[in-house]
Amino acid sequence: MQLKEIPIAGIPYDQIKIAKVPATPEYCERPAELIPSTSRSVVINPNRTCMPLGAMWAVLGVKKAVPFVQGAQGCTTYVRYTFSRIFKEPAVIATASFHEDAAVFGGRRNLVEGIRNLVVRYWPELIGVVTTCSSEIIGDDMVSFIKMARANLRKEIGAKKADQIPIVLVNTPSFAGSHVEGYDRASRAFVETLATTRGEPNGKVNIIPGLLYPGDIREIKHLLRHMGIEAIVLFDISDTLDAPLEPPTSVPYWAPGGTEVEEIKDMANSLATFALQPHAGQAGARYLERKYGVRAVVGPPPVGVQGTDAFLKALREITGKPIPRSLLEERGRLVDSLADTLHHTMMKKVAVMGDPDIVLGVTRFVLEMGMEPVALAGGTASKTFVHDVEAILAEAGYEGEPPLIINGGDLFEFEEYLKKQSRLDLIIGNSRAVDISRELQVPLVRVGFPIYDRFGYQKRPIVGYRGGEMLLAEIVNSMLDYQYPDDRTQQL
């Protein structure tokens, strides 16, 4: 901490930074008592969104499944728009299309007719019914509505066909939580509805990835393949939300891939369930453990060296398969990259924002790089977040100034705190932090949900050793872009 020089050709540590000028006159003084989000009612630029989004994300990871949103049209449109912008893919989400009549008389007609219309035009292999604020407030009895919808379908298309289409209900009143919890609830709703029998052990492991992008899920599958382990990935969006462009073929359009319904049914027979993100997916894993004794392994997110190590070690312990040489080499390459870039990352001040699991994973990784976190902002409030962060800091032997930990705050709080810092080198977070990054004149490395203003981030992994290498490169390069005079960059 006392170092004044870092090993970069004699440039004093506090002089490498280019002078920062506030981009706008927003640097005005604010009443200090109103800055922490816990001491005010108003939320300014929220750092999380609503529960239904998480559930829709989950349903889109199942093969030929359509989320059916029991709510007004906007609840679907906004989410479809969000997904389209992130994944650059079509997102097929049906709406119950609530209008005033539904708000007054309830949404029964909307659900029963809606399911029928959806089935006869799309023939989906699964329907995930997702509730919203409105349907929860008016008190729709979804279980009995779904029964009615099923009875109606049987009349119309015959019992055999009607029963082939499972309908999974995910209760997601959006005022009660965030998209992370929506995904969590979906993970439980799916195994509870579909994985109902404990039969022959299948020797596989279950993976509930959480809100990870297609690139991340591909990377996890790569790790599993090299370990020689068969897995059921619940909510596998790696193909459904990253589909190839092939000759125009059929109507309606169905993306390839996704978790098959049969696979989900088989999940009670697996060796263990890995919930890679503790906040998103834990509920499903815990349910399987309680009900069928399928062991639950919750977290840590496999980001960085230790995160991935922990994942692979747990896999080795449960399946008894060794970690192959190829993966050890990948690990070695990541560690080598850490050594190669050490002089750029050591003691740099970083702020991380996003969903709690992403923040936890990334924090552990930046500590491995020798960076010093100044603020860690998880958008979704959770009971364990503060404790987890402290554990990670303790584990890394972090001795610097303790960072500000925001558990469920908004971006205003995050920004106001960062403005008061004497030094900040980097923000790691999602696209919502763009304005903060511009205001404070520090680079932003985009990680997590949502990233809608850059291309390819949904395909580039951050998990696993190879993902770590990519994230590290991104971090180092964006700091070089921002913070070093042009004639010094060749010293990398």
Partner 1 sequence: MLIETMPERTGHLEPANLPACERQTLPGVISQRACLLYGARWMLAAIRDAVHLIHGPVGCAYYSQTVRQKNYKVFSTGLGEKEIIFGGGQKLEEAIREAVSLYPRSSAVLVYTTCAAGLIGEDVEAICKQAAAALGLPVVPVNCPGFGGVSQGNGHDVAAAALLEHFIGRGSAGTPLENSVNILGEFDVQGDLKEIEQLLQRLGLNIICAVSGRATVKNLARAHRARLNIVHCGRTGRWLARRMEERFGIPWQKVSFFGLDATAAALQAIAAFFNRPEAAAWVEKEAEATRQRALPYLGRLAGKRVALFFGASRMGSMAGAFRELGMEVVLCGSQFGCQEDYTESRRCLGRGTPLIDDAHQRELEEFWHRYRPDLLVGGTRERFVAHKMGIPFLVFPQETSPYAGFNGFVHLAREAAALVGAPVWRLSNNELLREEGEEKMAEYVRYVERGKKENGRSSL
Residues numbered 418-447 forming contacts with partner 1, rule: CB under 8 A: 432, 434-435
Q: What φ, ψ does residue 205 adopt, rounded to 5°?
A: -115, 150
DSSP H or E stretch at residue 264:
helix 261-265
279 binds partner 1 (CB under 8 A): no
* Shortest Å, Cβ 118 to partner 1: 4
169 binds partner 1 (CB under 8 A): no
Q: What φ, ψ does residue 349 adopt, rounded to 5°?
A: -90, 130
Task: Rule CB under 8 A: choose which of 17, 40, 226, 459 binds partner 1.
Answer: 40
Return the number of the residue (440 or 463) whose C-beta is nearest partner 1: 440
CA distance 70 to 146: 11
Task: Rule CB under 8 A: choose which of 105, 155, 175, 481 binds partner 1.
Answer: 175
What binding mask, one character per residue, do residues 400-419 give for partner 1 by CB under 8 A, x or -?
------------x-------
Residues numbered 323-342 forming contacts with partner 1, rule: CB under 8 A: none
What binding mask, one character per residue, do residues 109-148 give for partner 1 by CB under 8 A, x or -?
xxx-xxxxxx-xxxx--------xxx--xx----------
Residues numbered 42-61 forming contacts with partner 1, rule: CB under 8 A: 42-46, 48-53
80 binds partner 1 (CB under 8 A): yes
Return the number of the residue (379 or 468) whose C-beta is nearest partner 1: 379
Buried b / exposed e over 343-371, threshold 16 CB at 10 Å, is bbbeebbbbbbbbbbbbbbbbbbbbbbbb
Which residues lie closer than 8 Å to 310 by C-beta, 6 or more apart? Answer: 300, 302
31 binds partner 1 (CB under 8 A): yes
Return the number of the residue (41 or 490) whose C-beta is nearest partner 1: 41
CA distance 301 to 201: 26
Task: Rule CB under 8 A: choose which of 10, 199, 247, 456 binds partner 1.
Answer: 247
Return the number of the residue (46 or 370) whose C-beta is nearest partner 1: 46
* Sign of the alpha-carbon torsion through 295, 296, 297, 301: positive
Provide the 3-class DSSP secondary structure of residue 1: coil
* Cβ neighbours around 323 below 10 Å, total: 16
Own/partner contacts of 19-22, CB < 8 Å, gap of 24 or more, are 20/440, 20/441, 20/442, 21/441, 22/439, 22/440, 22/441
Which residues lie closer than 8 Å to 42 by C-beta, 6 or more apart? Answer: none
154 binds partner 1 (CB under 8 A): no
68 binds partner 1 (CB under 8 A): yes
Task: Rule CB under 8 A: choose which of 61, 71, 373, 464 binds partner 1.
Answer: 71
164 binds partner 1 (CB under 8 A): no
What binding mask, one character per residue, do residues 449-488 give for partner 1 by CB under 8 A, x or -?
---x------------------------------------
* Shortest Å, Cβ 75 to partner 1: 7
How many residues bind partner 1 (CB under 8 A)? The answer is 88
Provide the 3-class DSSP secondary structure of residue 206: strand
Candidates 78-86, 289-297, 322-330, 362-370: pick the segment binding partner 1 (CB under 8 A): 78-86
For residue 268, give Cα distances in angstroms to 71, 205, 225, 235. Answer: 32, 10, 22, 16
What binding mask, one character per residue, do residues 250-269 give for partner 1 by CB under 8 A, x or -?
xxxx-x--------------
